[in-house]
Amino acid sequence: MGRDVIVFAEVKNESLRNVSFEVLSAAKRIHDGGKITAVLFGDQPDSFADQLTSYGADEVLSVNHEQLESYTTDAYTQAFISIIEDKNPEVILMPHTASCKDFAPRLAAHLSCGLITDCTDVNIESGNIVFTRPIYAGKAFQKREVIEGKIFATIRPNNIPSRDIDNSRTTKIEEMKVDIKDIRTVVKEVVQKASDGVDLSEAKIIVSGGRGVKTAEGFEPLKELADVLGAAVGASRGACDAEYCDYSLQIGQTGKVVTPDLYIACGISGAIQHLAGMSNSKIIVAINKDPEAPIFDIADFGIVGDLFEVVPMLTEQFKQIINKQAS
């Protein structure tokens, strides 16, 4: 007998986040023939439903309400409670993103069920769903399973590969009305900093700088390399504290946790707080003048040298490779 799975498909900057497709992939691993329903909040275009279907959703549920146009904890929690009560799924899966980390615990409390957060893997073992999640800042991993009640988990971005796209799949789009009331917070306007480039939390490649960049201008070579590679730019807390860059770029225990395919650390010593946010990257390249820097202990490849000499050389070499492949 299959398991019905509800997947929350998160939208950011008018497009579906890649982690939404990864969560669908996790659902496909465990549904065992049950129905997978993808949930969209707000006034979303039909193209989103087509994308979710091609990545594995059997049904797309569109929930449109004026209170869902911008994220608030109360509105999202109330809307999702209505969905759970209507669909009664056995499994609920969400991305491990800022908004889901906020309202998922409230939803779990209302449902009186457990919540397994920040999962990096999910599989069926001996007939049971087993989630894997990191502990002790990524130094160890634990396996968790739910023995009774609803199964509720959040999935860390860039860990479960999304499935191959099947554009031949079709499904129905169901529209659902929800009653949202007693909202304590009303979003009147959303003001965002201009953000160029790749979303840091979902980037496949990250070029990150630490105190070794010395100044705000010291990030320019890193940005050039990131542009060539189609990468995001990140930073250590030291660089943020020194006001070389904005705190939105901070990676580490008190910043973002990232798991890119390639992490290039430039002028980063490798303090334990920073390693907690990036040590699970698939390939780590460290560039530092100090051969004894702790970052080299976890790096797959290390370059001992001045980043202001090494990074421009890498940028030029990558340009040549990309141009050669294009010609």
Per-residue pLDDT 10s for the chain (327 aa) are 689 999 999 998 888 999 999 999 999 999 989 999 999 998 777 789 889 999 999 999 999 888 888 899 999 999 999 999 999 999 999 999 999 999 999 999 999 999 999 999 999 998 899 999 998 877 899 999 998 889 999 999 999 988 778 888 888 788 999 999 888 888 888 777 655 567 888 899 999 999 999 999 999 999 999 999 999 999 999 999 999 999 999 999 889 999 999 999 999 999 999 999 999 899 999 999 999 999 999 999 999 999 999 999 999 999 999 988 887
- What is the C-alpha separation between 218 and 245, in angstroms, rounded? 10
pLDDT of residue 44: 75
Which pLDDT score, from 0 to 100, does residue 1 have? 67
Chosen CATH of 200-326 out of 3.30.360.10, 3.40.50.11540, 3.40.50.1220, 3.40.30.10: 3.40.50.1220
Q: What's the predicted TM-score (pTM) here? A: 0.86
Distance CA 268, CA 219 (A): 13
* pLDDT confidence of residue 6: 97
Distance (Å, whole) CA 159 – CA 19 = 9
- Residue 25 phi/psi, 5-degree rounding, is -60, -40
Would you list the domain boundaries of the chain? 5-176, 200-326
Class of domain 5-176 (CATH, top level):
alpha beta
Same topology, domains 5-176 and 200-326? Answer is: yes
Q: Give pLDDT, residue 170.
A: 81
